[in-house]
Structure 1
Amino acid sequence: MKNIFLFLCVLLLNISCSEKRKAVIGETEFQQKLNAEYKDASTSPLKAKDLKTFEGLDFFPVDNTYRVNATFTTTPNSPVFKMPTTKERTPEYKLFGIATFTLKGKEFSLEVYQNQELMNQEEYRNYLFLPFTDETNGFASYGGGRYIDLKIPTGNTIEIDFNKSYNPYCAYNDKYSCPIPPRVNFLKTEINAGIKAFEKH
């Protein structure tokens, strides 16, 4: 009898742990981390009504075709400029470098930026910002473009994983001020990777 009771306790504990593991969904660690952030009311950009029904963000299937090694050319003499946002705020950025890569047989270049305020914080000292737009915007992905977080590379190459692209907070809540991807960072192709458009309720 004790053995049966012990077995049932272990079984219930395993079921409980399994349900907790399922609470945060995602195909990759990046997706799981983003879903956990958006599910937590203290860190989520979602409006209260959207948070109530939130189960997880919608992503394109992970596709390694969209993980590219780009040649990275730094631009140390670039001037500081104010990047336009969806509101009056104009944070200061600097063009840190240009990433050139081949995707599905075509060559592309994207400008990579460094936030001048964040670079003074230890946590973000090596942080680089890659905002971009592509031909999925306004259809499968958010109309205002998407972002990718990068780190300053040690050499002259940098990995860009479009599977890790995410939406500006403005895609979920218009109270936020979000940098607008410069026109030069438009990719004349469909980037069917990373996060998809969010359906608001």
Structure 2
Amino acid sequence: MKPCTVIIQLLLLFSSTAKLTHAQTPYIDSMQAWRNNYVNTHELLKTPEERSLLRFYPLDAAYKVECTFEKVSNSPWLPMPTSGTVTKMARKYGVLSFRLHDTVMHLVVFQMQQLLAKEGTKDYLFVGFTDATSALDTYGAGRYIDCTTADIHGDRMTLDFNKAYNPYCAYTTGYNCPIPPRENDLPVAILAGEKNYGKKVH
């Protein structure tokens, strides 16, 4: 291969990489701002020392996935186990389907009866999951992603695992945190979102 041809190919490669990096920067910047806000306004961890023990995976745009959404109609209210003594009532609201790491996966979206009963939270939905990192790098009982009915657009919904966070039970005892059901155990490692808290729970 001629030297000039090699140089041209390298220039094209660097140009493509630069465009990709530039395209990802606004998203990464916005997610870093979201993460900073999550840390600085954490409702349970109040002191700088406590918040300094929060751990996260590096931000990765590959974990922002576009899903198809299938509504579940007339789903009955059923008890969902929690980490405490109180069982919470929930029903299936829909099913998300998406591809990640060349694997097609599904997550059930739940509606919580307690949240539905309150004006300020009636549109909230519950997406909890476990994956191959659970009980290793991440909290064993699972992580959550916040979403609302407004995030669903027809049969589409964006799910961002960079926003996966720990329930209060990952930091201390005394809370009744819903435990994601087995059907929301993902068969891959989700290397995004919050990791295990850096302080042991007593």
Quickly name the TM-score band, shorter chain normalised. 0.7 to 0.9
Residues 161 and 190 of structure 2 are in contact (CA less than 8 Å); yes or no, is this contact kept in structure 1? yes
Residues 64 and 161 of structure 2 are in contact (CA less than 8 Å); yes or no, is this contact kept in structure 1? yes
Closer, same or farther: CA 27–107 of 1 in aligned 2, 3 Å: closer
Equivalent pairs, count: 168
CA distance in structure 2 between the aligned counterparts of 1:60 and 1:147, rounded to whole angstroms: 15
Which one-letter code corresponds to 2:49 in the other structure? T
Determine the structure 2 residue equivalent to 1:53: 49
CA distance in structure 2 between the aligned counterparts of 1:61 and 1:74, rounded to whole angstroms: 32
Residues 55 and 198 of structure 2 are in contact (CA less than 8 Å); yes or no, is this contact kept in structure 1? no
> C-alpha deviations, 1:21-77, integer Å up to 9, x for none?
xxxxx9623212221223xxxx32x4x8xx462243211111111111111001011
Structure 2 residue matching 1:65: 3-state secondary structure:
helix
Correspondence 1:82 to 2:79 = yes
Identity of aligned residues (%): 39
In structure 2, runs of 5+ residues without a counterpart are: 1-29
Q: CA RMSD in A?
A: 1.8
In structure 1, runs of 5+ residues without a counterpart are: 1-25
CA distance in structure 1 between the aligned counterparts of 2:97 and 2:196, rounded to whole angstroms: 26
Determine the structure 2 residue equivalent to 1:94: 91
Closer, same or farther: CA 154–105 of 1 in aligned 2, 3 Å: same
TM-score by length of 2: 0.78
Closer, same or farther: CA 190–87 of 1 in aligned 2, 3 Å: same
Structure 1 residue matching 2:130: 3-state secondary structure:
strand
Greater than 4 Å deviation, 4+ residue runs: none
Q: Which has the higher helix share?
A: 2
Residues 128 and 143 of structure 2 are in contact (CA less than 8 Å); yes or no, is this contact kept in structure 1? yes
Determine the structure 2 residue equivalent to 1:171: 170
Shift of 1:125: 2.3
Structure 2 residue matching 1:118: 3-state secondary structure:
helix
Closer, same or farther: CA 69–27 of 1 in aligned 2, 3 Å: closer
Shift of 1:139: 1.3
> C-alpha deviations, 1:123-143, integer Å up to 9, x for none?
222211100000001111111
Closer, same or farther: CA 27–73 of 1 in aligned 2, 3 Å: closer
Closer, same or farther: CA 27–68 of 1 in aligned 2, 3 Å: closer
Which one-letter code corresponds to 1:65 in the other structure? A
Determine the structure 2 residue equivalent to 1:32: 36
